[in-house]
Amino acid sequence: MPEGHTVHRLARTLAGLFEGETLTVTSPQGRFDAGAALLTGHRLVASEAWGKQLFLGFAAPADVTWLRVHLGLYGAWTFASDGSADVVHAIGAPRARIGETETPLADAAAGPWAVPVPRGAVRVRLLGAHAVADLNGPTACEVITAQEKAAVEARLGRDPIRHGDSDAARGEFVARVRRSRVSVGQQLMDQSAIAGVGNIYRAEALFRAGVDPLRPGRDVDETTLGEVWDDLVTLMRDGVVRGAIVTTRPEDRGPDAPGIRAAGGLAALGPTTRRHERRAPVPPGAVLRAESFYVYQRDGLPCRLCGTPVLVKDVGGRTLYWCGSCQS
């Protein structure tokens, strides 16, 4: 499932392509015909993200009407333009199921701008003067009022990307976690406690803080929880810029990482065909996906810092990864 930084990138991309334009909104799939009819012919005036929720505001005669989208496990937006805008092909949950990666448009046709034929079951198509955006496979897609939007936001915790500069938001997060005996690992996945954190940021932020994810929230001190919030602000905002999640420090990557050396080097990792250790080509300056994380999807592999095997456990229907030594 795309994490919060992906939705913020979407909000920025859609704003850059369409904000201020009067759009043609359709539902090639047909499942959103009624909603599209309420939005088409109106101007896009806002593009916002709060956690994993995307809100697109359209100027209506009486008020702003909002399109609310939650991508869920399989949702993604795909883009095409006439060349006047530099866009990636897809942001969301790519069909190849490669997590947070944004994929370039491999089969883009050269030549004059021609609006592409919708691919697959397109729930919503936004068409402007110079670009088109298609939404496939969302968990939620609905037209709501400003009051209904406010009600959705009221159910969400603070978003580290959106509210990261607010001391009040930091304090709310700390107080919320410490009020409960529910494990801190579970609470970080609760969107009413903190919005936008998914399985990757949960595992990585707790590792970086040295916090046992199974520890009850009320047993984690305020200072540590404040540091977790601050770290998530930094990591998630970095994810917005990169278009990828990278939580490892440079000195903790590769065969020279302390834990990898202690475990016998890269040779100790075994076959490199495991999904989390594949060495796929990456753009210059980018970090290999296999080197981007400390514990996420590294079950059984040596901890990058201490060399002990990374642990894995099913918690609340999601896979939890942690180091039993560094996070004791």
Catalytic positions are 2-3, 52, 318
Tokens encoding 93:
């949950």
Which ranges in the chain belong to alpha helices (H)?
4-18, 33-39, 146-154, 160-163, 167-178, 184-187, 199-209, 222-242, 258-262
Asked if 19 and 130 touch (Cβ cutoff 8 Å), the reply is no
Type of residue at 207: F
Q: What is the dihedral of CA 19, 169, 217, 4, to 10 degrees?
A: 10
Asked if 93 and 84 touch (Cβ cutoff 8 Å), the reply is no
CA-CA distance, 328 to 309, in Å (whole number)? 14
Asked if 247 and 231 touch (Cβ cutoff 8 Å), the reply is no
Asked if 248 and 304 touch (Cβ cutoff 8 Å), the reply is yes
CA-CA distance, 149 to 161, in Å (whole number)? 19
Type of residue at 307: G
CA-CA distance, 247 to 166, in Å (whole number)? 23
